[in-house]
Structure 1
């Protein structure tokens, strides 16, 4: 599979896994309903204060947001207050609460009392007010629970899964590259140890070798061993020669003179050799 396609598939897979996880966790949350009250601000019969109506609507919204008013009038449902906003182009203020199924009725009763409590709070704060505060209608309760929002939670889970995968991929991708980068750095900064052995020329090397060889071995040639020559007699030839060849008589031993036995020439042989030498025959 192509790396880019594999990367995209992994992103969608982790996103879907996160969405499924958040969707399942939503069923473990407490269901809550929306309770809304609309408070209208209007002048108390004096036409001159009509021009200050918009400013008074803003002041009323700030009173509802103040911690002192909430502590004194909202009792234990202060944390259930969701939003306080001014409706555009009107003198109406919307107050929204989140309530569990068992708390819906109690929050409706608190919302009904808010207009009178604002009037008393403004009287104590300003010493009287030319404006009145009333509910536009009875508090409204949503037809079904607004929290947990399964669609919204699933989208958050999908985004969370994608972010977790990107962080996971980025972390492990950087750790895979670090050893390679470190190895490249060491290869670049590798210190080559110089060869500290002395440089020896071929002549010096030969001189050192010849110093260890004795003089006799250098100048003396290897001794050649002389093998003794074998003397073959007619008797031996008789043993070696083929049977169909004529064999000469064994007269060698008969003709041997006493000088042959000693190995020295006789006087006659000496004289004969001298005569031949004088004649130039030798």
Structure 2
């Protein structure tokens, strides 16, 4: 009787441990974007990031709608999209979603703001496809949008992506000048503090790297560039996005910059962490699948 009771307790403990390991495993998958060799047979049917001015809300404020969507023809093992929003070069928000056995993801945020500003959003759309014999491949795409909002007591509330009048051109130049001054000041401090020789690097603000979706890095193929971008987002998600996303009241970090070595040896990301302290993410550029290195 005692032996039977001990066996029952032992089995219960094993079941509890198994359930705990399963939960930890699922949590780990949810909190990770992982690059795998890209799947040439699967692609996004549609992917989009969009910023839209809705209306005035009173009290000198207006509403912005921020959305990110992506879809596939068929369900795959894992879907995860993460979107970052910057206002005048400062972090405004992060939004992400993770789903198993899904093909579509839709993100939507409504928020209020005031004053004339430049909004920029970039989204990384990602998925994992699991094949027999433990073969895993991934799919990815970057999409972006921007919106200038003019909120002045002397003109009607309006927005534009690219200026189509002299007045909009003047507003764009004014907003860009102020934002660029602030960003350049912060980025120069970061580079100086990191003791980096900027002559060795090509420098890109985070929201600008979407151009590598269709244009390869100099000296590399599009396939090699796609691999580097996928691994870059893996590092960004783990080291930059997750720590800040866990701090609900943390925002306004300055937009990160990516420094890519001109010899295509490595890249460095400079960014502010959840405590507004400078951090550096170092990654060796993987030119082939065999030479992959996730160094940090």
TM-score bracket, shorter-length normalisation? under 0.3
> Whose relative contact order is higher, 1 or 2, with alpha carbons under 8 Å and at least 6 apart?
1
Q: Which has the higher helix share?
A: 1
Q: Which has the higher strand share?
A: 2
- TM-score of the aligned structures, taking structure 1 as reference length: 0.20
Instruction: Name which one, 1 or 2, has greater alpha-carbon Rg.
Output: 1
